[in-house]
């Protein structure tokens, strides 16, 4: 099957609908419990933190999928979830689609944490050397350096992008010749959009520019996990597709 042709298609299937609602409720909670006057921080508790951070908790591997940075962030992720996820849920059914979504999100989180841990190694080393006095700094410089390192280590990662990229990868694999209308005007086949988009993410992940606050490796990880899952399912049960 290389092109999607709807048949008894539910425009808003159960799991996609509930994921949209849950993400919306979490986003609303983020707006309510934000700022210095908030009684607690949702990001500290539920966003994904590096393994080296004192804020890391195991449940963050899942809960970070339901937090977003701003309206544009959640709008983009939820639109892609609805657009491509609805197709997959209609084909696979609710249980298989939910499993796919969560596994892609978890896989993206693990891959992101692996690369993040590697990036943080020099900072952790410098932190230990500064605290032990092996790197001599004046008190003001020491305080600034330690605060900077702690801020970097405690930086949170939020968003459903890893799981959404898994959905996009699955859609591209299953329906490569389906036309997607860019800005609702320009028709481009899914396979070309997939190649361009994933190539873009891979380029900027390798570039690792300062100030780039996008979790590129989470996107790539989610796409790889999603692709591996559909390859496995397609091999074991070709009738499913």
Domain that includes residue 103, residue range: 14-240
pLDDT category at 239 given cuts 50, 70, 90 is very low
Q: Assess if residue 47 is contained within a domain.
A: yes
Total domains, the chain: 1
Are the beta carbons of 30 and 68 closer than 8 angstroms?
A: yes
Query: Is 5 among the domain residues?
Result: no
Asked if the structure places residue 4 within a domain, the reply is: no
Residue 157: DSSP 8-state: B
d(CA 43, CA 33): 10
The 10s digit of each residue's pLDDT in 5-61 is 555 567 899 999 999 999 999 999 998 887 667 777 889 999 999 999 999 999 999
* Contacts with 182 (C-beta within 8 Å, 6 or more apart), sequence order: 188, 193
Confidence (pTM): 0.88
Q: Based on the number of CB atoms within 10 Å of its own CB, is 15 exposed (0-12), middle (13-18) or buried (19 or more)?
A: buried
Cα–Cα distance, 58 to 60 (Å, whole number): 5
CATH number of the domain residue 94 falls in: 1.20.1540.10
Q: Give a yes or no: residue 83 inside a domain.
A: yes
Query: Is residue 8 assigned to a domain?
Result: no
């Amino acid at each position: 099957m290389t092109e999607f042709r709807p048949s008894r298609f539910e425009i808003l299937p159960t799991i996609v609908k509930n994921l949209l609602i849950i993400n919306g409720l979490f986003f609303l909670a983020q707006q309510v419990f934000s700022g210095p006057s908030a009684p607690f921080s949702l990001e500290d508790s539920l966003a994904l933190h590096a393994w080296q951070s004192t804020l890391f908790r195991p449940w963050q591997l899942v809960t970070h999928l339901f937090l977003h940075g701003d309206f544009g962030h959640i709008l983009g992720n939820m639109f892609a979830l609805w657009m491509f996820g609805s197709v997959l849920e209609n084909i696979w059914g609710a249980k298989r689609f939910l499993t796919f979504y969560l596994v892609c999100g978890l896989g993206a989180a693990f891959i992101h944490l692996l690369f993040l841990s590697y990036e943080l190694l020099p900072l952790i080393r410098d932190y230990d050397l500064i605290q032990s006095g092996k790197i001599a700094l004046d008190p003001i410089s020491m305080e600034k350096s330690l605060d900077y390192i702690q801020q970097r280590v405690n930086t949170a990662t939020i968003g459903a992008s890893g799981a959404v990229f898994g959905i996009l990868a699955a859609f591209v694999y299953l329906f490569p010749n389906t036309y997607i209308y860019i800005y609702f005007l320009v028709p481009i086949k899914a396979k070309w959009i997939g190649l361009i988009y994933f190539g873009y993410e891979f380029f900027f992940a390798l570039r690792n520019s300062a100030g780039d606050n996008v979790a590129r490796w989470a996107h790539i990880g989610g796409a790889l996990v999603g692709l591996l899952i559909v390859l496995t399912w397609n091999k074991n049960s070709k009738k499913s597709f």
